[in-house]
Chains A and B, each alone.
Chain A
């Protein structure tokens, strides 16, 4: 039997049993809709969480051990010797220093190169951390350098990629400042600052002078509420202000693979240092929770699909039994057992395809509805996603494919039943 004939007859049969066709399509549709909806939700929420916590799974942050313990174990200070030993650990590809600046820096004028309604007399303390250029090299805008500049030149700084979003959603509304347009290119912006000045009067240094910070790029490796400058700049300022440099604030290790993290962290602890789990741990826990919940929901959807297959099997079996005589008539006209089997399978496949397409459509519409509701009812928090769903093209194919396969699977037994009908017996 040719495909065109098969589809022709199968669709005639489906049209004549409208009720059964609608019920079976609905069964197939519910499973496909649930599957696509939950998988899209899991991927969308996972993506939103990665934006919120862009922790790099291959980085660990080493911090000095607790003072008493550190001394006892010979650990403690993160100095150049410690750096060398950390670099030697198996799986470590890079080790970069971080050193917090202990000289206060404050900004009391608007950055240059961006329109901002800076309130008169308003001063903001700028937390600054020195980092090795290697840590942020890939985030530097091309052509920009990240090393301690000659006296009088602007100091290159990197800000967190998330700062703009957080500024717009929390800082600007709280302080009544103008929001910055999303997607604005802030790189190159210059911030006039006062080195040595603190908004806490007692903490202001004796020497205060004007300097400029120049934004050289945005990076996920810079802490959210601070600006990163070259580590040499921090050491120079510490020398200028007579601050001692006992060791680094932390050392960031980059590992070859995320799987190396647990063993490397254990080795770091054996050396007497501590590991700051920080955002990476949160990101991992959130990611794991999302994966588990989305996986469970997708499994539930697969179960629904299996139930749909059972429902289709039952309804098709009843339909085949009711059509025994019709099938015998087709056999008298030249239908082979294979034709009869193919006919039942084709009916199921059409139902499964229609249910799958419908289900995918419903899942997509439901997702749009949820997104619209979220936009209306959720407060505007930083990194609030514009969508909680992701619909890659393969997901549509998956929904339709699973639905059609489930329907075909359900049709196997009824098709075999139909193929066994004896025309001589059934036709009289």
Chain B
């Protein structure tokens, strides 16, 4: 489902060139729950952005959900992010001005041409269903500021699941959560894996990797 080959990613820091990913290989089977662990600054987020088609500036091959990312135009990459993957971030990345249900609806607004686009009303119904799945149907009209950290992350998960992607990419999803909320998020991921979603989590937390079927270590730009 995820196949990265010889991925090398550098950042320019003024004169200096920092190599973050160095000839990295990664294979994740469909329906697997995989965790990548590593210290802060080791390149975990960078790896996720490459796999999720957010970052196109790297060397190597990336095939995710059957799409060869290097071959995609910027527009096709956006469609890939919309249809094939869902993101969950440590800082939730909800739009602060929008109520939970509007945040959840967002991916549906960017349905690429060719995908049957639902009406705003249908989208709202689908978003309510997604919020119901994460147990937040009763808080759909709240702004993110009026939700707890755990609730915000569940809204983000509902949003990531709205277009029923094959792959879920999570970047330190429990990093800002207490033990109870973090556990709820991990439970949701496990449930999604049971539904057939391929989950790749990058984290430095033991409790997350403990739930994963496979744990990889990111060190010096490579996975071990």
CB within 8 Å of B: which residues of A? 1-2, 4-5, 8-9, 12-13, 15-17, 325-326, 329-339, 423-424, 427-428
Contacts and interface: CB of A to CB of B under 8 A. Distances in A.
Given A326-B96, A337-B78, 19 more contacts: A2-B117, A5-B110, A5-B111, A5-B117, A9-B106, A12-B97, A12-B98, A13-B97, A17-B97, A329-B94, A332-B87, A332-B93, A333-B110, A334-B82, A334-B110, A335-B78, A335-B110, A427-B49, A428-B49
A421 to B, nearest CB: 12
A-B pairs with the 6 shortest C-beta distances?
A334-B82, A16-B97, A424-B55, A334-B110, A5-B109, A336-B78
Mostly, the A contact residues are helix
B74 A337 contact: yes
B151 interface: no
Interface of B: 45, 49, 52, 54-55, 57, 74-75, 78-79, 81-83, 87, 89, 93-98, 102, 106-112, 117, 119-120, 159, 163
A339 B110 contact: yes
Contacts of A16: 97-98
B55 A1 contact: no
A325 B96 CA distance: 11
16 contacts: A2-B117, A5-B108, A5-B111, A12-B97, A12-B98, A325-B93, A326-B96, A330-B95, A331-B54, A332-B54, A332-B87, A336-B74, A336-B79, A338-B75, A424-B55, A427-B54
B144 to A, nearest CB: 12
Contacts of A333: 81-82, 87, 106-107, 110, 159
Nearest to B97: A16
Contacts of B52: 332
A334 B93 contact: no
A343 to B, nearest CB: 10
A339 B106 CA distance: 12
B93 to A, nearest CB: 5
Nearest to B56: A424
B109 A9 contact: yes
A336 B95 CA distance: 17
A339 B52 CA distance: 19
Nearest to B84: A334
Contacts of A329: 93-95
Contacts of B54: 331-332, 423-424, 427
Nearest to B106: A333
A168 B49 CA distance: 85
A8 B117 CA distance: 14
A4 B112 contact: no
Nearest to B57: A424
A334 B78 CA distance: 4
A330 B110 contact: yes
Nearest to A338: B75
A2 B109 CA distance: 8
Nearest to A9: B109
A41 B94 CA distance: 51
A338 B102 CA distance: 21
A315 B174 CA distance: 37
B93 A427 contact: yes
A336 B76 CA distance: 9
B166 to A, nearest CB: 14
B202 to A, nearest CB: 12
Given A329-B93, A333-B110, A334-B112, A12 B102 contact: yes
Nearest to B55: A424
Contact of B89 (A331, A335, A427): A427
A52 B160 CA distance: 72
A329 B82 CA distance: 12
A332 to B, nearest CB: 5
Q: Most chain-A CB neighbours within 10 Å: which of B55, B102, B109, B120?
A: B109
Nearest to B159: A333
A109 B108 CA distance: 87
Given A12-B98, A13-B97, A424-B49, A334 B83 contact: yes
B158 to A, nearest CB: 13
A427 B111 CA distance: 21
Q: Most chain-A CB neighbours within 10 Å: which of B81, B117, B159, B163?
A: B81
A33 to B, nearest CB: 30
Contacts of B102: 12
Contacts of B119: 4
Nearest to B46: A424
B106 to A, nearest CB: 5
Nearest to B50: A424
A5 B107 contact: no
A1 B107 CA distance: 11
A326 B52 CA distance: 18
Nearest to B102: A12
A15 B52 CA distance: 31
Contacts of A424: 49, 54-55, 57
